[in-house]
Amino acid sequence: MRSSWADSVANAEESAPATGAAPAPVANHQNSRPTRSSYVPPHLRGGGRSPENQVPAAAPTPAGAYPSGAVQPSGGYAAAVGGTRWAAPPGAGSAGVGVVRQGGGGRGAVGGAGGGWNSRPGGWGDRRDREPNPFGDSEPAAVDVDFESQQNTGINFDAYEDIPVETSGHDVPPAVNTFAEIDLGDALNENIRRCKYVRPTPVQRHAIPIVIGGRDLMACAQTGSGKTAAFCFPIISGILKSRPPQRPRARTAFPLALILSPTRELSVQIHEEAKKFAYQTGVKACVAYGGAPIHQQLRELERGVDILVATPGRLMDLLERARVSLQMVNYLALDEADRMLDMGFEPQIRKIVEQMDMPPRGVRQTMLFSATFPKEIQRLASDFLADYIFLAVGRVGSSTDLIAQRVEFVLEADKRSYLMDLIHAQKANDVPGKRILLLWSSWRQRGALMLWRTGCIQMGSLQQVFMEIVHNRRKGSMR
């Protein structure tokens, strides 16, 4: 269970005044603060751009021309949105290996998604019989259970009212307030109930309709904001609604969706969530990451994969061995893109997206998630996305503003026991699924600086915790 951010918003607002230049909300946004001026994403700002916000010529800059360089699907984008468009991927022969840009046809286009998928000949409906229950021993939820009273407590929804949400781009689909407003299909809806998600989080409210509507998305949202579901739901729903693919019988795996993530831990978490969301739908998620033997992952891939969650390094390895082909990828999601770039993955990511056999932008549907929006990410967005919608939930690049911070001086010798006390205290006060206490022992002399933050990263991955801290320090955002 990962951290959630809404609680930290509440905490932060109580304990710390917002700092930094927070972009003001705008036109399309749902939680308007009328006193603020319109927010313009950095890459769309015209004159007077600060050097930090300047983007290279290739990046989209003029307002209204959003974004530039987009590869328009033939027949125009509306054609893709209005229906299903098939395109032959590079190298696809007459075997029927095809790529569909799933416009989704908007909400309600395909009622009860999933029927055709599982029942098709040669489909993987039979996978459901041998699929382990990712919800553990818990009984599958009955439809009439009162989920409002049993909801997942990982997120404090009451803290959402003040969260600024901004969207820009043309024809932005309206946000939804409930999952029921979106036609995700019965099987997926059942799994949402099993997850005890009663209401969508802000990023889900906006991102899901955008992606279901067939649009590319650049989303700035913090860790723990519910991004995983925001990209997984439309992917699973889109796969279920699409024409079942004909995949060549080969040892090569042909995923329909690729989710790139920076670390093994995050990949595993996304995979775990994806398995829950796709439970009993026939859609299969696999994970591939480095630092672990490849053979087990290869065996898993050979059994078939629809959604591949992978770290860039291991995926390159699989591509070079020709054990994975990206030519049927309809959906590409990059999670924590800023972190991937910080970790030096840009060359590999570019190779995967631009130089292998993945369908080009405009044919596949692409979602780029990042907590910050520096110029490197703007460049990536401009290169990878087509006719995209920009969504900012919370204030871009202001993760530390959303986090309650406390500094305590502790004698060197007491550091460990103090840390343990804090962890135990947090555990004792915590409710299941709630976010984590995060600690940082300073590398400065003279005692220890201990700083903890709530609502950012989960327990269970100290490595991840320290990477986040290093990441923030590098960005100079830790004060």
Contact positions toward ligand ATP, by CB under 6 A?
1-2, 4, 152, 154-155, 197, 199-201, 204, 223-229, 266, 335-336, 433
Residue type, 205: R
Beta strand extents in 125-216 (DSSP E only): 165-168
**Shortest distance in whole angstroms from residue 203 CB to ligand ATP:** 7
**Shortest distance in whole angstroms from residue 430 CB to ligand ATP:** 12
Beta strand extents in 171-284 (DSSP E only): 217-220, 257-260
Single out the residue of 284, 279, 343, 359 nearest to residue 311, CA to CA.
343
Q: What does the alpha-carbon distance between residue 82 and residue 413 come to, in Å, rounded to a whole number?
A: 65
**Shortest distance in whole angstroms from residue 367 CB to ligand ATP:** 12
Judged by beta carbon, residue 35 or residue 149, the one nearer ligand ATP is: 149
Q: Which residues pair with 438 in a beta bridge?
A: 453
**Shortest distance in whole angstroms from residue 431 CB to ligand ATP:** 12
**Shortest distance in whole angstroms from residue 150 CB to ligand ATP:** 11
**Shortest distance in whole angstroms from residue 369 CB to ligand ATP:** 8
Q: Which residues contact 402 (CB under 8 A, 6 or more apart)?
A: 5, 8, 9, 12, 222, 394, 395, 455
User: Is there a contact between 397 and 42 (Cβ–Cβ < 8 Å)?
Assistant: no
Distances (CA, A) of 192 to 139, 275, 309, 466: 14, 12, 20, 32
Asked if omega into 67 is within 30° of 0 (cis), the reply is yes
| Helix, strand and coil in the chain, % to nearest 5 | 35, 15, 50
Judged by beta carbon, residue 335 or residue 338, the one nearer ligand ATP is: 335
Q: Which residues contact 283 (CB under 8 A, 6 or more apart)?
A: 117, 124, 236, 239, 240, 306, 307
Judged by beta carbon, residue 59 or residue 219, the one nearer ligand ATP is: 219
User: Is there a contact between 66 and 168 (Cβ–Cβ < 8 Å)?
Assistant: yes
Q: Which residues contact 471 (CB under 8 A, 6 or more apart)?
A: 339, 342
Judged by beta carbon, residue 349 or residue 448, the one nearer ligand ATP is: 349
Judged by beta carbon, residue 342 or residue 387, the one nearer ligand ATP is: 342
SS (H, E, C) 286-303: EEECCCCCHHHHHHHHHC
Judged by beta carbon, residue 72 or residue 177, the one nearer ligand ATP is: 177
**Shortest distance in whole angstroms from residue 236 CB to ligand ATP:** 14
**Shortest distance in whole angstroms from residue 224 CB to ligand ATP:** 5
Judged by beta carbon, residue 178 or residue 417, the one nearer ligand ATP is: 178
Q: Per-residue b/e over 386-401, b at no fewer than 16 CB within 10 Å?
A: bbbbbbbbbbbbbbbb
For residue 431, how far is the Cα from the chain centroid? 25
Single out the residue of 278, 239, 277 nearest to residue 257, CA to CA.
239
Judged by beta carbon, residue 66 or residue 197, the one nearer ligand ATP is: 197
**Shortest distance in whole angstroms from residue 164 CB to ligand ATP:** 17
334: enclosing H helix or E strand? strand 331-334
Judged by beta carbon, residue 450 or residue 465, the one nearer ligand ATP is: 465
**Shortest distance in whole angstroms from residue 217 CB to ligand ATP:** 14
Judged by beta carbon, residue 336 or residue 401, the one nearer ligand ATP is: 336
